[in-house]
Structure 1
Amino acid sequence: MSSIGRQVNSTVMGVIGAVIFILVGVALGPTVTIAIADINATSMADVVMGDVIVTLAGFVAFFYYLGIVLGGLAMIWATTKTGS
C-alpha cells in the first residue's frame, strides 16, 4: 500500500473512531447527569469540602459534554498528525 493510501486509511479510521466516541458519550450523557443530580447539600453534610462538590455538581453536564467534544477533536487532530 502506498504512503498516501496508508495516511488516508489511518485518517478515515481515526475519524470513525472519534465519531463513535462522541456518539457513545452523548448517548451516556443523560445517565451521567441523572446520577450526579442526587448530590445535594444534605447528602454532603459531613463530607470534607462537600459544599464545593455540591456547587460543582451543578456544572457536571457542561464539563461532561465539553470533555466529550474536546476529546473527539483531539482524536481527529491526532489522526491527521499521525501520518505526517
Structure 2
Amino acid sequence: MPDFPDHGVTDGEGVMIKRKWQKSSRSASGCNCLEVAIFLNRINVRDSKCPSGLQLSFNVVAWRNFVRNVPSVDEAYA
C-alpha cells in the first residue's frame, strides 16, 4: 500500500497541496472514529486517534463497494 503524506504534493504553480481530513458529524470526542479525505482522486481513511499511522486509500469504485458492505450500527450490534 502506498504511503500518502499530508503534504509534499504541489499544484502546477508550485503551491503546496494539503489534504483536509474530515470526521463524521456523528462522531463524539473520545470515540473510535475514522477521518476521511479526498486527495488526488482517491478517498483516504485514517484513525482519528492515530493520524500519523497507517491509512487506507480507495479509488471511487472500491470506496463505493467498501461503504456498501460496511454493516449499519444496528446490524453490527445485533
Q: TM-score, normalised by structure 1?
A: 0.21
Which of the pair is proportionally richer in strand? Answer: 2
Q: TM-score, normalised by structure 2?
A: 0.22
Which of the pair is proportionally richer in helix? Answer: 1
Structure with the greater relative contact order (CA < 8 A, sep ≥ 6): 1 or 2? 1
Instruction: Tell which structure's C-alpha radius of gyration is larger.
Output: 1
